[in-house]
Each structure stands twice: as C-alpha cells, then as structure tokens.
Structure 1
Amino acid sequence: MPSRYGGSLERVSRTGTALLRVAQLGRAFAVHLIVCGQRIGSDLGPGVTALRSQLSGRVCHRVNDPETANMTLGDMDPAALDAARAIPAETPGVAVVAGQDGSWHRARSVFVSEDEAERAARDHAHLTPAWDALIGTVPTTPPALDEAA
C-alpha cells in the first residue's frame, strides 16, 4: 500500500528505523545532528517518534497545524505548542527553541542573505575535510536497512 510520502509503508518504516539508528549512533559518538523535516507526523511509524527522543535541542518555526507542532514539541510544556502555533506569518525567522532541560524560548534568527551565505561558504571551503579521510575506506555495497535495525 503506498503512503502519502511517496513509497510503501514498509519502505517508510525502514527509512524511519534507519534514521533512528543514525541518530542513536551519532549521539553515542557525540556527533551533533541536524534533522529537518516538513510535516513529520507519527503516521510515519514509531521510529519517527523515537527519533524525536534522540534530538535534545529542537527548533519549531511557524506551523499551520497542531500536529506538526506536536511532533516537534509534543513531549514538552503545552505552552510551547501554543507559542509555535501563534507565531505570525509576518515574523520570519521566529521559532520556539527547546532546550535539553525541558525549557523552551521564543527566538529569532538573524537574516543572512544568499550572497552572504555563498561568501561564507567560499571563505571557509578550505576547512572542509576530504570525504575519504573521514570515512576511511568506502564499502562497495551499502549495508541493508534491515541490518541497521
């Protein structure tokens, strides 16, 4: 049966499980992960809800529906959900930021133009490590998703 996310429910579930495993391994190795999504809901399976629990710092920008705010901030103070849904469309960059201790705050990011972002990328490109140096050897075949679970 196809899902609204463009694949079979089994594939969606396997992908969610694989993302959860990456988050767990990253956390174990003190790797900071940035996971971004739109309309991520619990209908993607239990792996997505478990993934949220691995992400201690969370940012929820303006949302149109309570389900999206709930998926990001649902295990926090209900006032955080209300604050995320109350962000006006006229205030881009405003978000609810959740901390590791369960606290939350409204925050506003600084605007960075596309030209500024491109210039920063060029200025710091020399700091990017070579991919092969990071991973050592590249396997010829990736592991099956079932092995990651």
Structure 2
Amino acid sequence: MENKEDVLNALEDFIKKPSETIPEILESYLKHIAKTGTTVFPWGKLKPLFEQRLSQAISEFHERFPMDKSNVVSANVESLSFDVMRDRILEAIKTFSGAPFTIQRLCELITTPGKHYRSTAKYLRGIEKNIMVVSTVDPFGRYVHILIMCLRH
C-alpha cells in the first residue's frame, strides 16, 4: 500500500467531496484490502468509499453481463429483479457499524468482479452471501463481535 498518510488524506477528501470517479490511490487501497484483509483505517473512513465502489462495481458488472429472466430463475434461489437485489445489498452495507469480517472477499469482488463470475445474478448472490452473516473486524483484521444480518425486503 502507498503511504498511509496519503491514503488517509484521500479518504478524508473523498468523505468531504464524494466523486463518481475514484482516485487511483483509493482504488489501490481497496486492492490492498482485497490482498491482505486489513483496512488499516476505521470503518467510518472506509465506508463511504466502499459503498460508492460497491455500487459502481455492481452497475459495471450489470452493464457487462446484463441480467435477464433466463439467468435469474433457479429452483434453489429466490427470483428477484436486479434493482431489488442491488438495493438490498446496498442497504445492508449501510447498517454496518464496523468493517464486515468478509471485507477481504468483498473487496476482491468489487476490484476484480469478472474473475469468478459471468452472471450478474450469481455475482450479486456472491456479494449478498458475504454480507448476510458476518462478524466485524477492526482496522487490523482482528475479530470484534458477531453480527447476524437478515436481508429481507
């Protein structure tokens, strides 16, 4: 990871003035989390960036692999529209008071979404699975407490 002070300054700037364009230093920071699982900074500093990047990743993935009825219907899973699934995921993230225990995997999914998925429905379910039942971790990856989330509409 680049200079921690530079990353912290970039995070604080992003909080003050959110942008649809994520600065390269913050994209690199998310890749660092994907690689190490440590956020280094408190969740309050990371959360606005994470929410923005997650929303972008979901939209970009959906543009690349459009979701239609044929790739949503399955006997094993609830059939939901793209908008419902996206909104459910984004609302769940807003409820976290600390970084989810699955932050490393979530950052992998938002920085390299096409690595493991070619279906938007499966990609969204992969994200949802990492949000549904989690523990939280401190900025250094240490376990804090159990938090069980039920995602209902």
TM-score of the superposed pair, with normalisation by structure 1: 0.30
Larger radius of gyration: 1
TM-score by length of 2: 0.29
